Homo-oligomer: A and B are copies of this chain.
Amino acid sequence: MTRQLERQKCKQTCEILQELDLDVWMIWVRETAQMADPVLKLVLGSDLVWQSALIFTKSGEKIAIVGNFDSDGIEDLRLFDQVIPYTQSIREKLRMELDRINPSQIALNYSRNDVAADGLTVGMHELLLDYLKGTPFLERFVSAESLISRLRGRKTPTEISRIQKAIEITEQIFTDAAEYLRVGFTEQQIHRFFHERMREYGVTSAWEAERNPAVDAGPDKQFGHAGPTENKTKVGHLLHFDFGVAYQGFCSDIQRMFFFGEEKGIPEEVQTAFETVRDTIRAAARFVKAGRKGHEVDAVARSFIQDRGYDEYQHALGHQVGRNVHDGGTLLAPLWDRYGDSPMGTVEKGNVFTLELYVTTRNFGQVSLEENIVVTKNGCRFLSTPQQELICIKPKAK
């Protein structure tokens, strides 16, 4: 079991602890096959059965306290300097290690804003309070949100190259689809085609397979997370996809628009809507830069589109992509309740974001696109090849 990526992330963890001047990060979990703290995929890549404490220190120590049946497997990964097994209860070994390290702060995985940093459950938290009763550590807990946001958001070159590959395969499947598509196909039939191609290319679904890709044919289907239906493609109609694959554990997330008919047959309001969405994404990408706040980037796109006379989109302009298709951390989002503090976060070098939005036409439904970018030293770079024109599916002569 090679765990090169996880090793890089463990190293990065200790660097970020130094940067934040945070003594200890503790991942506190059990039965992770049933419900895994989302950080485990990043730094461990394996499951833990028994109550377990994974401890990272500012000085670079990495310690795992795990049940006796888990310990061999965890040792094999060679990610930890020390693997401490226990049989009946983790309590004593946990207290001994914390006493030895005596950290001023212990960062735990709870966060109102970021699901990716909110892996600690209420029951496990109560257990921890109980195990550490009477110690000074109870007063030293802090949220690991900013640590996790940095760790997850700052993609290593290996991580970026896997995301890039996921995107390439996604785009290849769209190219295959342009060959395959005909007037009169149902959304469900098209959905099956995408799944056949995914199997062929050896990738899995970046989210719930039933709803990936979202396939929306014609003007009457609200985009969103509903599954494919018996709706059929028709001449003069748009076809929308929201599609992502997972390649070696890393995701893509791309939206594309097709039109059934000749280029010259594209109605003006459709063409204008398409260009507006495309140009808004370009404008947002030009504005993206390390140091910007998430909500500032969203605001640029939101006002751009409103200036063109469209209603604002009812979602965020962009989320991070990585291990998960919604990868937590800073959001490119408006300051709405439901986004919590995530739009206040800072865009960092190495972050991978979606840029996505829709506008609504009078007669043809919604037009929506989504691209993926990586934040660079001086701005950002598209990881996807931005869609420039509607992809036209010409009705074939019989």
Contact = CB atoms under 8 A, between A and B. Distances in A.
Interface in A65-110: 67-73, 76, 86-91, 108, 110
A337 B50 CA distance: 11
A222 B112 CA distance: 42
A113 B328 CA distance: 29
Nearest to A76: B226
Nearest to A115: B31
- Identical chains in the assembly: 2
A139 to B, nearest CB: 17
A76 B112 contact: no
Nearest to A328: B34
Contacts of A130: 112
Contacts of A110: 121-123, 126
B338 A51 contact: yes
B33 A35 contact: no
- How big is chain A's contact interface, by range? 35 or more
A323 to B, nearest CB: 9
Interface string A55-71: 00000000000011111
30 contacts: A30-B115, A31-B326, A33-B325, A34-B328, A35-B37, A35-B115, A35-B119, A46-B210, A46-B211, A47-B207, A47-B211, A51-B338, A67-B338, A68-B224, A68-B314, A69-B224, A69-B315, A71-B224, A72-B224, A73-B211, A73-B226, A73-B227, A88-B338, A89-B337, A110-B122, A117-B123, A118-B121, A118-B124, A119-B121, A122-B125
